[in-house]
A and B are shown apart, each in its own frame.
Chain A
Amino acid sequence: MLGEAIRRTKNDIEGVVLIGGIVGCTLFFSVFEPRFFSLENLRVILETMSVLTILSLGLNLLLIAGEIDISFTSVLEFAAAIVAILSGWRFPTPLAIAIALFGTVFVGIVNGFFTVKLRIPSFLVTLASQVIVGGVVLIMCNYRAVLISDQAFLNLFYSRPVGKVAACVYWMVVIAFCLWFFLMKTKLGRWAFATGGNAEAARLMGIPTGRVKLLLFVLNGCLAGVAGFILGSRAMSARPLMSSGYLMPAIAAPIMAGASLTGGRGSVLKTVLAVFLLSIVTNGVSLLGLEPAYRDILMGAILVVALSIRQLQVLAGQE
């Protein structure tokens, strides 16, 4: 029984590192800042991590299939900008959301098309689309913040329907559960792992790897759109570059959770844990009154430590 526990621990080094990191950071910040260890602060952390969680889970899907999308920051702003502009024109809330999601689906299809059909590396395709969509957002917003005046929309993503917890936390939980279900319980989820693990083998076994990747680009675009709705609701506005701070942590979280840039690996639960760890650091640094630069340094250090431990395990396995 002990041997089995040790074997599982060795096989799940990312989970051990993440839980260790969460416990360690919680202890550290609790000692130096008494306000840190409270239910009220946990609520704040959960609310602030919702956007990053949804973005990271979207990227996790693509990393599993061996692809990456760095256009999500611009897509997030794009969705928020569409809703903001349409709310000014008094569009019905469901219609505004549908149009914004249609926009994110379109970007996902374009990213997927160039990656799958023209075989351009997804990093380059999505780098280009990030710049293009970012430019479109600048024009749409006229270089300024656009207020979101649709109260129903704001309520949908940032009201407090039960107790003090904001709706965005429920969105985060529901989306995380749905993605876990998709990846672990459905055929398409299994095909995503197979496509990233060995695309040629998957193709030989009759899996339509191109269509799987296209679907995941679209899903990732939609998730960036939902993250845009939440961020827009929190700020009650949309503005260019509102999501620039999410680029690094959204990519780092799934990688800390075990996703590989070459595909075939990734976990919803561990990605949520990784985002929780990064959010604890952000929150703790803020409560201690330190400059945001310290948060970046700590986040970078955590990423390097997590990757180093995993790599040491890989090297030990090879020996």
Chain B
Amino acid sequence: MSEVVLECRNITKHYKGVCALRGVSFKLYKNEVLGIVGDNGAGKSTLIKILRGAVHPTSGEILLNGQRVSFQNPRDAMDCGIQCVYQDLALVDELSVKDNFFLGREIERKLFGFLPVLDEEAMYMEAAHALRQIGYEEIPLNAQVADLSGGQRQAVAIARAVFTRPEPFILLMDEPTSALSEKGKQKVFQFVSFLKKNYSIVLVTHDLNAALQACDRIIILKLGEIVFESSVHDGLSVEELISLM
């Protein structure tokens, strides 16, 4: 068995009398794509929010490489090497591709030796390199994100999550194919296959075909509990998954 990079133990989350997660426990292995699927209200979003530090669990613990961690905010999770590709991509339409790529972690240089200013050239070079690495060098870095296609926006969000400092080792992908055409979805699956060589991935989706195509292992959440866990190599079908949800 491969090395465990992330482990959740008995994660529970209550929201004003509603139990969103009940004792959820699972492991994520190195270079694995773990799919978390479930119907609306199953607790997928709550779980991913807990993993990226946006929500605190009511009880339970998270271990990264065997060490117990506690995230106060998304920045803590990022600092521990967890990056997230958000469902709505978290891009600012009014800013350029390059500006979005470095949002919140802009590179600066000193003007006249003391005045911190944005180092546009360094950011341009680094963003161009990142997009080239994932095969999207045709995206114009100075174009506004609002002018990009859905697939290009997805590429910018994924490249931003992957090519960052500190370098992540876990990627959380929240409904990455929800707004994409079939062609766009295939491109994301190619990304996922490419990325799993270097990262461990948690892919949250309600698209069961996508889960079967992209994941190594699948967990089904139902009303806040894990009701099924299996490798996808066991001849799983969409119909079988639906019957379990």
User: Measuring CB to CB, which residues of chain A are less than 8 angstroms from any residue of chain B?
Assistant: 185-187, 190-191, 193-194, 196-198, 200-202, 204-207, 264-265
Contact = CB atoms under 8 A, between A and B. Distances in A.
Given A194-B95, A198-B92, A205-B90, A187 B103 contact: no
B167 interface: no
A191 B118 CA distance: 12
25 contacts: A185-B117, A186-B117, A186-B118, A187-B118, A190-B95, A190-B106, A190-B118, A193-B94, A193-B95, A194-B99, A194-B104, A198-B91, A198-B92, A201-B86, A201-B89, A201-B90, A201-B103, A202-B104, A204-B86, A204-B90, A206-B78, A264-B92, A264-B93, A264-B95, A265-B94
A185 B118 contact: yes
Contacts, number: 67
A192 to B, nearest CB: 11
B94 A264 contact: yes
Interface residues of B, number: 24
Contacts of A264: 92-95
B180 to A, nearest CB: 19
B75 interface: yes
A197 B74 contact: no
B66 interface: no
B121 to A, nearest CB: 13
A185 B120 CA distance: 9
Contacts of A200: 88, 90
Contacts of A204: 54, 74, 84, 86, 90
Contact of B92 (A187, A201, A206): A201
A193 B74 contact: no
A206 B118 contact: no
Contacts of A206: 74-75, 78, 104-105
Among A185, A193, A204, A206, which residue has the most Cβ atoms of chain B within 10 A? A204
Contacts of B106: 187, 190
A187 B104 CA distance: 8
B108 interface: yes
Given A186-B117, A205-B104, A207-B103, A193 B92 contact: yes
B105 A197 contact: no
A157 to B, nearest CB: 26
Given A204-B74, A205-B104, A194 B118 contact: no
B140 interface: no
Given A190-B99, A204-B86, A204-B90, 18 more contacts: A187-B106, A190-B106, A197-B93, A197-B95, A198-B92, A201-B89, A201-B90, A202-B92, A202-B104, A204-B74, A205-B105, A206-B75, A206-B78, A206-B104, A206-B105, A207-B103, A207-B104, A264-B95
Contacts of B99: 190, 193-194
A62 B163 CA distance: 32
Interface string B36-56: 000000000000000000100
A196 B95 CA distance: 11
A189 to B, nearest CB: 8
Nearest to A204: B90
B166 interface: no
B116 interface: yes
A257 B65 CA distance: 52
Cβ-closest 8 pairs across A and B: A205-B104, A264-B94, A201-B90, A197-B92, A197-B94, A206-B104, A205-B103, A198-B92
Contacts of B86: 201, 204
Contacts of B54: 204
A205 B92 CA distance: 11
Contacts of A197: 92-95
A187 B86 CA distance: 23
A224 B149 CA distance: 42
A114 B118 CA distance: 31
Contacts of A201: 86, 88-92, 103
